[in-house]
Structure 1
């Protein structure tokens, strides 16, 4: 009788163990399926809707991808599940690259690229606002401007030189205001030296650019 009870007990334990093992596998499979479904669902959302919540979408993907990877260890024969996970991973990475390109800001116009080089990224836009230039930084602003022009003088077109001239005159206009706000005599002297360097460089190279364009037009 005792033997029968012992065998029955062992059978119940074994059955319970098998049941737990089956539940674990079932849960793992659901985790994998949830990951696959998430990738497919994200790919069906309009890019305009994704853009606003992209960080949250990507973070949720990372979480589900990690859970799916861990779940594979709990599936006895996981070759099919592994293939599903890998396929979805490739799908998402390709989709992410596509969305990154879609969400990227448009490239600045040639005019804006020139302004960025002369003053720094985004410092001067269409509003031509020079309020950020003050007595403390105006010398360094002139330095960057003149040195940038010097480094690129052989590459500028006539239109580029016209833009450079307009920006230079706007900076000079701002200097007139800054001089009344505590510009040191030392910085003023250094700026005067930079202006002496710029003037002939502009005149000669703008004329050269115009001549080159005239030659090209005749060809």
Structure 2
């Protein structure tokens, strides 16, 4: 009887190990499948929603990837699971790159609209919408917005602002030939002088801050 009980106990322990093993395999496979399903769900989001929630999306992605990779030791078909994970990584990187481009475009559009109070037409370097009747207001909007936000602009944004300003100035040369009044031209000249002085300072300090940050990162 004692021997039978010992044998029965051994059989139950073995069954338990098998059950645990099966549970581990299922859990590992679920983590791999869940990882793939999560990335598929990201692809299904509309662009605006994905951009607005990207930080949360990316954090959850990294958690799911970690779980999927941790379970590779337990999956029944490791080669197939690794292939699925690698394919899903490629899909995610494509979505991520697209989202980063969309986010940058949205930031650029917001910067442009704030400075000029106008949606870009034909591209943000096209200022054909500026004419003799609205050009003074455009310069005022631009200079006043820059003044209000000058401390928050990054070096890249300042470079973009400079390019837009030069494009606006080029448009002014054309507008002058279309009947720009002397009074408006004088007001614009004052605004240009004010902007040039402030922009030069902000550009210089931004470069200095960037160099300092690069130095600290290298240390």
Q: Distance in 1 between matches of 2:41 and 2:140?
A: 40
- C-alpha displacement of 1:169: 2.6
Aligned position for 1:38: 38
Distance 1:132 1:47, change over 3 A: closer
Q: Distance in 2 between matches of 1:33 and 1:93?
A: 18
Q: Secondary structure of 2:143's partner?
A: coil
Aligned position for 1:7: 7
- C-alpha displacement of 1:89: 0.6
Q: Distance in 1 between matches of 2:67 and 2:194?
A: 61
Aligned position for 1:169: 190
Q: Distance in 2 between matches of 1:160 and 1:22?
A: 72
Aligned position for 2:143: 128
- C-alpha displacement of 1:126: 3.4
Larger radius of gyration: 1
Aligned position for 1:92: 92
Q: Distance in 2 between matches of 1:130 and 1:84?
A: 50
Aligned position for 2:201: none
Aligned position for 2:170: 159
- C-alpha displacement of 1:171: 5.4
Distance 1:28 1:126, change over 3 A: same
Q: Distance in 1 between matches of 2:54 and 2:97?
A: 13
Q: Distance in 1 between matches of 2:48 and 2:72?
A: 34
RMSD over equivalenced CA pairs, Å: 3.5
8 Å CA contact retained: 2:29, 2:71: yes
- C-alpha displacement of 1:82: 1.2
Residues matched between the structures, number: 142
8 Å CA contact retained: 1:72, 1:81: yes
Q: Secondary structure of 2:141's partner?
A: coil
Runs of 4+ off more than 4 Å: 130-133, 160-163, 165-168, 171-174
8 Å CA contact retained: 2:39, 2:92: yes
After TM superposition, the structure 1 = structure 2 runs for residues 206-217 of structure 1, keeping only pairs within 5 Å, are none
**Unmatched tracts of structure 2, length 5 or more:** 113-123, 128-138, 149-161, 175-184, 196-219
- C-alpha displacement of 1:51: 2.0
Q: Distance in 1 between matches of 2:140 and 2:80?
A: 55
- C-alpha displacement of 1:16: 0.5
TM-score by length of 2: 0.54
8 Å CA contact retained: 2:140, 2:191: no
8 Å CA contact retained: 1:35, 1:65: yes
